[in-house]
Structure 1
Amino acid sequence: MPGLPPPVADERDALLAFLTQQRQALRITAHGLTEAQARSAPSASELNIAGLVKHAGRCERGWMDLVLQRDSGPRRDPDEPDTGDFHLGPDESLAGLLVQYEQACAETDAIVASIADLGRPVPVPQGFPWFPADLKEWSVRWVLLHLIEETARHAGHADIIRETVDGATRDPLMAAAEQWPDPWFTPWEPAPASG
């Protein structure tokens, strides 16, 4: 992944390129982590990298459900606390969540490619305190901008968590994951096992 999105031809290309860049920034924070490290929450919050990947995938699917007006099953009760998105069950793994996230991203890209007009209306769900009650619709364009914002926010969370876990930062992680040639960044390497 280059450090910047590629040149773009048009608005759709730009929105997807910047969304892809932020997705890659989130995924790179998981590079080389053990399952225990991916589940660890070393900062003041309960967030962990695996949970952020899980949440990002669920967000993409949820927003595409909304764009397509498809029913994806029962929704959470607005008065019930949301703990499932960020927390892993015993049967979930970082590797599995990364695959699910990749699938959600590919589905988003395919859906967006199939929509001729990014100004197409997307109904705003009603009855949820986090959605504006006085607004009836967004556009597909707005949904994409929101996904960029949401993904970037969580990629930033993941950067901080990853640096707290083992000191790794973006450029050395990218250099390791993509086997960049020297001399620009020394690729990240796992710390030697102690004991």
Structure 2
Amino acid sequence: MNLQIPSLNHVLTSAQRSCRYDIEVSPTGSFRISSTDPEDHARAMQALDLYKQSNAPAQRPTPPVKVSATPKIKEEKDVELPSSKEPEGPLFSEELVPYLRHLKQKKYSRTTYGQTTYTTKIFKELIGDKPLRNITFRDIDTFLHALSVLPSNGPKKKAYRGMHTIAVVEKAEDVTHGRISIQTQQKHIDRLKAFFKWCVERKEHA
């Protein structure tokens, strides 16, 4: 059933039939109500409130807010950063060159110079020319074992002349006599220790 909402004039006119009102309506639609009787004035105001409520514009539902889809984040490929690995440092042979030059400058004898060259040659051929910082205890053990089986005066003997140190060690394993003495082994060790000590001190004072 359709309900017809009465107009403002109709409401006020109906109320005015039984009550005493003075109604002034301006051309713009505004109005003024006056009454000498408080109760009549109150009734007229109640009628006006009801009219306003019934003719209030319906509240439109708030339109849904469009939420834009979360923008797709562009995938970036992993960027390879520079390696934080420290450089391995100079090779054994690279440090040996200035060390031998140092021996000459300090006026070491030709014998000491030659023996040092021979000792370091044995060590390098056994473990390879690797960075000093990569030399391990296993490398030292390899060197010590080789000293224990090296033949006395091996480079001068025809059977070992011109051979690589590893080949000499492998061949000398089967020979139980004619090996270098304990004193000679210790001299090789001392010469290698002197070289390593010089490298450490050189680095500390760099």
The two structures share one fold, judged by TM-score above 0.5: no
- TM-score tier (shorter): under 0.3
Higher relative contact order structure (alpha carbons within 8 Å, sequence separation ≥ 6): 1
